[in-house]
Structure 1
């Protein structure tokens, strides 16, 4: 017989279902994702670090797992909740099963529960912490364990690269600050021939300057943007010096660096079909999203930021640009993975911004810059 698993929510609601994946127990913030496909990309998105993810689509696992669809080197989620788990995938690309992946990384899964009911609870009461376990502890013990579990505040440090690495290219040099970056961002930049240098989340402004970037990309990432104040300080130093493009957490950090404020959403935006309106053109884009925080609308007044995009569902801010400096950001994921690729044009817009900035600010001969850049990289890599 298949083993039993249980999911206990902070409000006392207890779900009992069937276990798959690893044996054990885990605590995390229980959230839901409305995507119909893309569960492997969801599992491997570092922005889900510390969260127990519920898939609203009822059948998960049917096309298996393939190495080509990972968005990070490993999954960071704390649990996986589905209505029906398919143990035997049927797809020519499948290399192994969902169950195998979860076992390999010690992630507990639960199936055969009412995920519609769970999603309605989260929508009504907001995201809350939960405990997912395959053990046979009494309900009272589970409640005590959940209540005693500390809040996770170091998700960015857990998911960011610990070392500098590069993806060489012949065009613009982009420093990608990794707050928990998806591989899709790097793919979009390298596809355009960019010379990308990926740096840890705690890289200082001076260390970034030594790399002589043409532009700076701020990645997505997990958690509360206010938990990484060092990133805000670094961005304040670099703002106006280099063109900047922020995505998701990078968007929130950009807003904080410019004097705006952020707040937690009731249940967040997670899925591949969120409508976003571009205010300048009036056009609506379908976007991929994964975030639990947003920039407070009233906090933008009095800053040098201008709202460029809004969410058509709840009117929250989805895009910002600086009124004086070459810098902009979006709350959603233009690299998709999973989701629509309607918004990949934003990477082209970023490169156009860089070229315009270079035209207005002529540099020394490129050979001298590259020589200094190489020395800076070698010095930084030895640290």
Structure 2
């Protein structure tokens, strides 16, 4: 067979010497190489991805690795770069720098193979079709879709299958989008504000369905403004601020990054000056008959209140996820400098 350029010298390339050992001769290293080859590809592997829109740096060198089967909450204030990052994971836009790999391939290749689905906040539904007709029509675009009734049941909308989409509530339409995303049986499911418009019971049953899917090995990445959803249902939380990841860990680990505890007690006319002078106290205030002390040394504050004052009903609480979210993603320059370092440690 001739070379298209006519240069036949390509056929004269020397063969590899038979004395060269292609595999590592060290047994331990060979075992390591075999283990690496058998290890499943990361569901998401983003390395140094950056995205600019004119002079605006929307995503600033994000590194994000997600293993198969993880449920990851991707959180941040408006304008933090969440949606831009999700667009790059879905192949809807390309990073200006860095690279994204989904199950070892490009995002577009993963989507073409049905490995990735997304549930977005709005759009993509025809009001005049019924729920079943919508799912059946979408299923026709796949070579081997999941059964229509199966995805309707898993999404919790089999009982409204004959209802027109335009007659469905916002929460029911979100469940319909979830059903559509399940048709290809994707390995990675990306959810952008998935429970918008759902009532409390609807949100709870939706997340039960998501947990059941994750138990089967599906990877889930979701963005939400409902922080309690991240606290309750995510295996891992990634916080983003100004295009950078400032914290990455379990809910408990994220909460711990917001240093300090709150000591509350019933105490009329407290000496706030004395409380503020205690070691570790960052603030002390009085609200009616309740004194509230924020401190990194709750033992000292509690000891003072119990032994030096007539305080009763003392309570010590840790920060919740909302406190940590505000502390780690707020605009205070001093706070952001320290928490970014903590989040990357």
TM-score calculated relative to the size of structure 2: 0.23
RCO greater where, 1 or 2, for CA within 8 Å and sep 6 or more?
Answer: 2
Query: TM-score under structure 1 normalisation?
Result: 0.22
Structure showing greater Rg:
2
